[in-house]
């Protein structure tokens, strides 16, 4: 048998081979996973699925006539929706997916598994009419072994009956939840072809990270028979260059995992926020018959601990400044590919400048977590849920979710805390004793937290993680204390709201972070939230949107986002972000804009109106003295001669940046801004295209609207409304590549303004091997 290479998440990205209801827990595939056209390996099967909404169980049988079904690509939403004002019952139905394939002859003698990274919400999988037990849960991976049911000389049909209703027996359902789950196979699918004995999972744990003798403890879960002749080898490598190795014979008497330790890994660099250095761990298993299997995972050497003195990364104090993130997008819910998931991490770290994200309220895309590893964005990851605790079977599923989440993601250096409590739920001693025990038994390198809003609730976790929506904040009542939500529903704000509300929204985030910075017992805080999100009818603003974000649902920043951005050092980016929009008559009392914030990391500002110096300002250190870069509060109320508003920023007496807001009140230009210039022709790759109606200086016109019409030519399609009605002068669509290469030309038109055209190159993709 030939060697088999498997990436860190090609089969199981985290944990022992766990069978739950007949399902083998499997994690997502990394882009670097080895695929061999004719032999064993990892085979992506995201194209050429057939889909039928509201199909019955008969569609699980191989002979069912699917000739009229829709051909779709994974990730897939079971229905496209408007970005707001829709009924969640539109996606709550049972559908069926079918995938035809013929296994190559070279797979004979190997095991074949179908691996799903995520499908919402309950999946019944069948192969050639053999039906596996239902897998319940939409946020964690699962797989089933197909080997004994395959037809080697003819067509095979892999079918999935997907129940996307809000079933009360599956977390997070059973009560009210303030978000939507949507439906569809919304994460990747692949076939894994492995030897009879293979490495199911690897936990590579750096130890003694801050000491000279840094080590690497590697636990390997092996599926299949192990003999004294079975050998394991571990290599730690950096860009293909081996740094340290160890090998040993497997111990057949062990029924849990095999363990190897590299005692001294040499002069490896630490993973931190400014230099998130990553290394590969390659584990090779050699069986007695000569067959081999290699599992690769990626790690970083770092120590992350919550202490009574705050949060410490590699022994250095770090005040955590974060935002909560929902994974869903307009039009398709969670069914966005890796590029869009990774882009969210970039927006959070590189545009909003935060250092921590909470995956509220469930495990999120592996591609998102991969990007957090790569760019130095810390993560609090938690199990699915929202306030409600169900009966025993429901709780058992939640405990399983803890294990599935940790086994999938324990090699991510970005993850610093496991959330093992249902968000904002009541105390339940037995239930949460179980969730903590599972977390600590699987991963002794990370602490646990449990997000609550009850100040005096029972603490079973390591860190007291508290949603505190009042101000001033309550003082820490436990040695390890992290604020996990604030603001949010207390002050819902749209980007086009009246000027005083927009300004107050900005200052509320600044006030909380100022208090968090005032006391080292606060490890930091995670604002609610990064992006507006879809919700149920009994939440939000009456249009199925919670406008709680510092950015809108299209990931376009509101004024409050400027506060977070302004907290970076000027060496990274010089920031001047007005916490208002420029108008003379929008203030509720006396005209002008009143006293408003300007968020900046400059040390002095000069404000001009109609080219005349109106005022100068220094940071408001009296009110916000604990912030490194306090906002400037500027009073503009005495009706100066009207004109453009110019803000000059100075550092150490030197002019470093100028921002100008138009006083003309005219829609000057339509901007059409794709995030990416190239896509891959795999039928799922896509990029956001931001729409901005601006003044002559490029600032969004927040009171402007209009319908943008699109014409697309080339191998792509629009995800979104066409025409698209701008909201607050902005919006976005997504452009998805089809399965042929070429050039996409997207033309956008808005009445009275010059049409805009952008081009996106679609590069050929390798065909799927199966």
Tokens 């916490």 belong to 579
Instruction: Evaluate whether 656 touches 649 at the Cβ level (below 8 Å).
Output: yes
Instruction: Evaluate whether 174 touches 137 at the Cβ level (below 8 Å).
Output: no
Any catalytic annotation for residue 44?
Answer: no
Contacts of 328 (CB under 8 A, 6+ apart): 179, 180, 182, 334, 533, 534
Dihedral angle sign, alpha carbons of residues 307, 309, 312, 314? negative
Burial, 70: exposed, middle or buried (Cβ in 10 Å; 0-12, 13-18, 19+)?
exposed
Coil, strand or helix at 516 = helix
End-to-end CA distance of the chain: 20
Where is 134: in which H helix or E strand? none
Quote the CA–CA distance of 735 and 719 in Å, as a whole number. Answer: 6
**Structure token digits, residue 9:** 């998440």
Contacts of 338 (CB under 8 A, 6+ apart): 31, 365, 367
Angle between helices 392-409 and 429-442 (to 10 degrees): 20
Quote the CA–CA distance of 181 and 172 in Å, as a whole number. Answer: 9
Quote the CA–CA distance of 464 and 459 in Å, as a whole number. Answer: 7
- Count H helices, E strands: the chain? 6, 50
Contacts of 253 (CB under 8 A, 6+ apart): none
Any catalytic annotation for residue 485?
Answer: yes
Of 435, 397, 442, 400, the closest CA to residue 419 belongs to: 435
Quote the CA–CA distance of 758 and 733 in Å, as a whole number. Answer: 13
**Structure token digits, residue 235:** 């290599």
Say which of 44, 92, 205, 424 is annotated catalytic.
424
Report the 10 Å Cβ neighbour count for 540.
21
Say which of 485, 504, 577, 768 is annotated catalytic.
485
Of 751, 745, 700, 753, the closest CA to residue 727 belongs to: 700
Quote the CA–CA distance of 604 and 566 in Å, as a whole number. Answer: 14
Cα radius of gyration rounded to whole Å, the chain: 27
**Structure token digits, residue 722:** 């066409």
Instruction: Evaluate whether 492 touches 509 at the Cβ level (below 8 Å).
Output: no
Q: What is the 3-state secondary structure (H, E, C) of 38-61?
A: CCCEEEECCCCEEEEECCCHHHHC
Quote the CA–CA distance of 106 and 94 in Å, as a whole number. Answer: 36
Quote the CA–CA distance of 414 and 304 in Å, as a whole number. Answer: 9
Which are the catalytic amino acids?
A: 424, 485
């Amino acid at each position: 048998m030939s060697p088999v290479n498997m990436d860190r998440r090609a089969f199981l990205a985290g944990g022992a081979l766990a069978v739950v209801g007949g399902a083998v827990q499997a994690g997502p595939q990394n882009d670097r996973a080895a695929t061999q056209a004719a032999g064993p390996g990892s085979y992506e099967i995201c194209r050429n699925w057939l889909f039928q909404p509201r199909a019955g169980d008969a569609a699980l049988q191989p002979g069912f006539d699917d000739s009229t079904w829709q051909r779709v690509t994974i990730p897939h939403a079971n229905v496209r929706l408007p970005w707001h004002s829709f009924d969640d019952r539109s996606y709550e139905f049972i559908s069926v997916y079918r995938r035809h394939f013929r296994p190559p002859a070279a797979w004979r003698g190997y095991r074949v598994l179908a691996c799903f990274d995520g499908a919402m919400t309950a999946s019944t999988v069948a192969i050639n009419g053999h039906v596996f037990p239902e897998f319940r849960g939409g946020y964690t991976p699962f797989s089933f072994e197909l080997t004994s049911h395959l037809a080697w000389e003819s067509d095979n049909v892999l079918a999935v009956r997907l129940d996307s209703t809000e079933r009360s027996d599956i977390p997070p359902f059973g009560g009210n939840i303030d978000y939507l789950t949507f439906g569809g196979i919304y994460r990747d699918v692949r076939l894994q072809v492995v030897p009879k004995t293979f490495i199911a999972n690897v936990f590579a744990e750096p130890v003694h990270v801050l000491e000279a003798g840094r080590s690497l403890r590697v636990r390997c879960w092996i599926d299949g028979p192990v003999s004294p002749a079975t050998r394991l080898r571990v290599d730690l490598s950096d860009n293909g260059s081996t740094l340290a190795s160890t090998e040993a014979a497997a111990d057949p008497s062990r029924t849990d995992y095999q363990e190897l330790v590299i005692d001294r890994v040499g002069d490896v660099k630490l993973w931190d926020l400014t230099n998130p250095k990553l290394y590969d761990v390659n584990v090779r298993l050699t069986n007695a018959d000569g067959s081999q299997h290699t599992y690769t995972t990626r790690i970083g050497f770092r120590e992350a601990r919550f202490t009574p003195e705050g949060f410490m990364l590699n022994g250095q104090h770090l005040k955590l400044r974060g935002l909560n993130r929902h994974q869903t997008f307009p039009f398709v819910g969670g069914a966005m590919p890796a590029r869009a998931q990774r882009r969210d991490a970039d927006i959070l770290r590189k545009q909003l400048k935060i250092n921590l994200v909470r995956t509220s309220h469930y495990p999120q895309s592996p591609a998102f977590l991969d990007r957090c590893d790569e760019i130095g964005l810390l993560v609090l990851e938690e199990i699915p849920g929202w306030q409600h605790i169900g009966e025993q079977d429901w709780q058992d599923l939640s405990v399983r979710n803890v294990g599935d989440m940790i086994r999938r993601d324990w090699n991510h250096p970005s993850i610093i805390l496991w959330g093992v409590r249902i968000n904002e739920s009541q105390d339940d001693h037995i239930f949460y004793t179980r969730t903590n025990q599972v977390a600590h038994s699987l991963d002794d390198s990370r602490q646990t937290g449990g997000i609550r809003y009850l100040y005096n609730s029972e603490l079973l976790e390591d860190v007291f993680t508290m949603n505190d929506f009042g101000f001033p904040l309550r003082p820490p009542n436990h040695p390890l204390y992290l604020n996990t939500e604030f603001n949010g529903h207390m002050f819902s704000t749209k980007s086009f709201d009246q000027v005083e509300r927009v300004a107050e929204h900005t200052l509320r985030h600044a006030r909380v972070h100022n208090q968090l910075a005032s006391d080292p017992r606060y490890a930091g805080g995670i604002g609610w939230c990064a992006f507006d999100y879809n919700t149920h009818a009994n939440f939000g603003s009456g249009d199925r949107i919670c406008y709680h974000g510092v950015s809108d649902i299209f990931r376009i920043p509101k004024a409050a986002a400027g506060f977070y951005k302004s907290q970076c050092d000027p060496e990274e980016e010089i920031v001047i972000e007005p916490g208002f929009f420029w108008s003379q008559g929008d203030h509720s009392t006396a005209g002008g804009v009143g006293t408003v914030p300007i968020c900046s990391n400059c040390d002095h500002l000069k404000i001009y109106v109609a080219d005349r110096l109106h005022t100068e300002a220094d940071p408001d250190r009296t009110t916000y003295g604990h912030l490194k870069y306090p906002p400037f509060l500027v009073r503009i109320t005495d009706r100066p001669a009207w004109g453009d508003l110019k803000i000059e920023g100075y550092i150490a007496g030197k002019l470093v940046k100028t921002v100008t807001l138009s006083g003309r009140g005219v829609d000057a230009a339509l901007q059409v801004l794709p995030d990416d210039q190239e896509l891959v022709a795999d039928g799922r790759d896509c990029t956001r295209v931001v729409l901005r109606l601006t003044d002559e200086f490029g600032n969004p016109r927040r009171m402007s609207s209009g319908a943008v019409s699109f014409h697309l030519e080339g191998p792509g399609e629009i995800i979104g409304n066409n025409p698209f009605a701008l909201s607050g002068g902005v919006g976005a669509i997504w452009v998805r590549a089809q399965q042929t290469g070429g050039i996409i030309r997207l033309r956008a038109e808005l009445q009275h303004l010059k049409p805009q055209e952008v081009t996106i190159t679609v590069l050929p993709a390798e065909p799927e091997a199966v």
